[in-house]
Chain A
Amino acid sequence: MESNPLFKPGHTACAGCGQALAARLVIDAAGSNTIVVNNTGCLEVFSSRYPESAWNVPWIHSLFENAAAVASGVEAALIYLGKKDITNVIAQGGDGGTADIGLQALSGMLERGHDILYVCYDNEAYMNTGVQRSGLTPFYTNTTTSPAGSKFLGNPRPKKPMPEIANAHGIPYVATASAGFPQDLQRKVKKAISIKGPKYIQIHVPCPLGWRHETELTYQIARLAIETGLYPLIEYENGKLVAVRKIAQPKAVEEYLKVQGRFKHLLNNPQQIKQIQEIADNNIQKYNLSEATT
């Protein structure tokens, strides 16, 4: 795309990685006047293995759970130097590093009102360590620590409502995005960067390895998640739901589940599929996603 891309090819992400795609889109939208703080995770590991680095912007990785806190220090330093107005700060991490182990640091950063954009790459499990269940793993997902067996059918809990948790902190902007909607993703990043204060964007990113699907289906599967209503694309501004991506004709969740190996144990379990359909239906109602209603 550009002669000097901010996120360079030559990193060791899996072929078809949704997170690599999203990370590139995010930093391209934010621009070169950005300092990035990254949690430990797939993105950090495949983009910064000494002596290689995919990052053409100042970038630091500290620990698993403290990107939001380190970013708070970066932001404070920039304010002290009088450079905050011309420098964006992005703190980013995966779903585990954000919703579980990183929740404390994130909450502190949001509450203190730092001018930082936090991006959560939600591939719905601890992928870097081999597909373990996280707080954002959906209902009935087969992961290595919530496996589908003869007694239990996978993760017994729904996703932690992270966008709502972020929104409850009273921050100016919260949005969900998807690797299946790249332009929408970049629009939201640009919008967030233009707002002063803490912002939270959660990006749904399929993981061909962890979700068990073909590498070329990353884009379609991401779109299916949105088109079933399972992953609402929404925007909150100053606490109010201001925009959603409407779904013309919501697809049945089975269409989304059947193309991923992590759900294949459900295909003969109509009761569980019904429960997942309920989640989708509730989302459609709660966020008013149906185009049929105004």
Chain B
Amino acid sequence: MFGPLVVKPNKTKGDKTGSWRIQLRPKYLQKNCIACKMCALICPEGCVKGKEKNTFIADYNYCKGCGLCVQVCPKADIVMVEEGPEGEKK
């Protein structure tokens, strides 16, 4: 008999930390993106995914809205917008 001890990571889903966002979320304009990958690199959650130009997007299930991707984008192609009907939380 052991009780709660060891966890298999592939059995865990993580908290839906996207619910932490109250006001703002990063909007990925996907217009002038040069695929420098800085947004994906700098996200503390590691929830920004993308491959080619204009394909980068945050996973809003996990995005905490810290705003780092906005600050780091060399093309200002990410902007913070109000949480609202337009950007529904998935």
Contacts and interface: CB of A to CB of B under 8 A. Distances in A.
Query: Are A and B part of the same complex?
Result: yes
Interface of A: 1, 5, 7-13, 15-18, 20-21, 24-25, 48, 50-56, 182-183, 208, 214-220
A215 B22 CA distance: 14
13 contacts: A1-B41, A7-B46, A8-B14, A9-B59, A16-B67, A17-B44, A21-B43, A50-B4, A50-B7, A51-B12, A54-B9, A54-B14, A182-B42
B48 A10 contact: no
Interface residues of B, number: 31
B46 A219 contact: no
B47 interface: yes
The interface centre, meaning the residue of B44, B48, B49, B65 with most chain A CB atoms within 10 A of its CB, is B44
Contacts of B13: 10, 52
A25 B41 CA distance: 8
A52 B14 contact: yes
Interface of A is mostly: loop
Contact of B40 (A1, A16, A55): A1
Contacts of B7: 48, 50-53
A9 B70 contact: no
A50 B5 CA distance: 8
B23 to A, nearest CB: 12
Nearest to A59: B9
Contacts of A21: 42-44, 68
Contacts of A11: 14-15, 17, 45
Interface string B22-51: 000000000000000000111111111100
A204 to B, nearest CB: 15
Given A8-B46, A9-B45, A53 B12 contact: yes
Interface in B1-23: 4, 7, 9-10, 12-17, 20
A48 B72 CA distance: 29
A50 B2 CA distance: 14
B66 interface: yes
A219 B59 contact: no
A273 to B, nearest CB: 26
Contacts of A9: 14, 17, 45-47, 59, 62
